[in-house]
């Protein structure tokens, strides 16, 4: 879109690259786990988890950039924009905030699954891992339902 700046586009591209590298690593790790491919599965799982974390971090940075731009637009257009435009921008702000919370919950879990010695890797109790995953999933379900409802209107 014309509204996106170079930073948002760059972060989007880097996020896509991390995602595209993540998928084959995860598949090789799974295949090694299943005994289909004779390779060191721990290295592949670690690589896929690092790429997952990188993708999440880039997604957080992208959402923060979009959020800052939206808030700036809202302040600039306080008097000049229609209530419909302001409502749309506020909905977009809400969506970006939810994306940040979801990505942060997933990032916390991604770091937990890395080998011990990196930040809090391996330190979360099972209930916290489950809670973070549940928060992320519920946000994803909520956002998907909002998108499907707005598409039907």
> CA triplet 89, 94, 60: central angle to 5 degrees?
110
Task: Specify the DSSP element, H or E, that contains 85.
Answer: helix 83-112
Average of per-residue pLDDT across 20-39: 92
Say how far residue 58 (Cα) sits from the centre of its chain. 8
Q: How far apart are CA 147 and CA 66, in angstroms?
A: 18
* pLDDT one-digit tens code per residue, 79-132: 666 778 888 888 999 999 999 999 999 999 999 999 999 999 999 999 999 999
When pLDDT is averaged across residues 61-69 and rounded to a whole number, the result is 95
pLDDT, average across residues 60-85: 85
Whether this prediction's pTM lies above 0.85 is answered by yes
Indicate the range of 14-23, 45-54, 73-82, 141-150 predicted with least confidence: 73-82
Whether residue 32 contacts residue 41, with contact meaning beta carbons closer than 8 Å, is answered with yes
Q: Does residue 153 carry a pLDDT above 50?
A: no
């Amino acid at each position: 879109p014309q509204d996106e700046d170079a930073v948002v586009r760059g972060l989007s591209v880097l996020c896509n690259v991390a995602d595209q590298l993540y998928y084959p690593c995860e598949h090789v790790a799974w295949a090694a786990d299943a005994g289909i491919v004779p390779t060191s599965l721990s290295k592949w799982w670690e690589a896929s988890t690092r790429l997952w974390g990188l993708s999440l971090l880039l997604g957080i940075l992208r959402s923060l950039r979009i959020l800052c731009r939206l808030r700036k637009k809202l302040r600039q257009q306080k008097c000049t924009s229609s209530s419909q435009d302001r409502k749309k921008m506020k909905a977009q702000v809400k969506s970006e905030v939810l994306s940040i919370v979801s990505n942060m919950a997933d990032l916390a879990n991604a770091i937990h699954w890395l080998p011990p010695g990196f930040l809090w890797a391996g330190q979360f109790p099972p209930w916290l891992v489950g809670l973070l995953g549940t928060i992320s999933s519920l946000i994803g379900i909520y956002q998907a339902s909002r998108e499907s409802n707005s598409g039907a209107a």
